[in-house]
Amino acid sequence: MENQFLIDSEYLSAEALEKKHRLETDPSSRKSHMEYMPGMEQITSDVMEKVMSQMNSYDYEKYTAKDVKAASGNVYSCQIARTYEHPVTGKVEDSGGSSSKATGQGMVEGAISSKGLLEVTDSGDYYLTFRISLVDYTSDLSFSVQKRGASGFQTQSVTQTATGKDNNGTTKDLRIKLPSQDSIIRCSMYVKPMGRNVIFYFYPGNYTTGNSVGMKALMVTTSSSDTQTSNNNQTQTTDATNNTASQQTTTASQGSNIQSSDDSLSNAQGLSLSTAPKTTTKKKISSEKSVETWILILTVSMTLSGLILLGVAAAIVYYYRKNWDKWGGDQDEYDEIYNDEN
């Protein structure tokens, strides 16, 4: 016996049962819940048609082996030059001003590691991975990039690739896309112990082939195998690097007082893989000073200055009170003489 899932109620009238049976057996008698009812706003959309059209027009035969190798390229280790003032203009954008240059420079060197990793794809994209410290004491980080010689910065997002620890606490490895290998990065971040935002700059230079800094290369996963393309890229990069070195030498002659950053760029061999001599000079990077050290120095200096001022004020008050009677006695004697004469 066939299963019966439609059950009639004995309390329904003949008309209701008839309508019920019609709805159950005749789909044309049912109302579509997708249809607009009278008075409803009707919204038309062609999104589905566009998506289906794009999908149907997709040609799988257009992709070649070259397209599949889009992530091929070369990886270079580099040094990161860190500076409190703009490396080209010398302008200090931080609210601490030029008077805080020494303190600011120490903080910058403690916040950004001196080593980085540059990934250059065969399609001409540049990705810099750098390590930022003091993560436990900072927040609201924002980055923008500028091609050396350009007039303004463009905001650029970063991608975290790793985390770690150093003497200042937690560190993060961040990757940012650059307009060229000769770029300047501007960083703005809120420093909790200082209670304000700080602004500084850093940029890569002194490139050497390969990954010797221990950072993850995630954009370039395959080395370039096209010899001709590689040679062309090497020639272009060598020319660009030579121009960069020339610009850096000119900037230094105009009085740019940047520490190890200018030296590293002036000696840069760029991204060249040609027969250019590999005479990279490895300079010992100055030890990174933590923000806590500089804050402690400022606190102690302010405390000592306050104590000295308080001591001077106390000495003046003491001297004044000690000679009060003497000064007052002289005045009384003068009054007596004046009264006798009169």
What residue spans define the domains of the chain?
A: 70-272
Q: How many CB atoms lie within 10 A of CB 204?
A: 28
C-alpha pair distances (Å), 292 with each of 17, 164, 194: 85, 19, 10
From 3.40.50.12500, 3.90.600.10, 3.30.930.10, 2.60.40.1850, which CATH number describes the 70-272 domain? 2.60.40.1850
**Confidence band, pLDDT 50/70/90 cuts, at residue 298:** confident
Predicted pLDDT at 4: 61
φ/ψ of residue 73, rounded to 5: 170, -150
pLDDT value at residue 92: 92
Q: Is the pLDDT of residue 50 over 70?
A: yes
pLDDT at 314 over 70: yes
Q: How confident is the model at residue 33 (pLDDT cuts 50, 70, 90)?
A: confident
Residue 284 has pLDDT above 70, yes or no: no
Q: What's the predicted TM-score (pTM) here? A: 0.48
Give yes or no for residue 272 having a pLDDT over 80: no
> Of the spans 3-12, 126-135, 282-291, which averages the highest pLDDT?
126-135
109 or 265: which carries more pLDDT confidence? 109
Mean pLDDT score, 286-313: 79
Please report the sign of the dihedral spanned by the C-alpha atoms of residue 74, residue 200, residue 81, residue 140.
negative
- How sure is the predictor about 63, in pLDDT bands with cuts at 50, 70 and 90? low
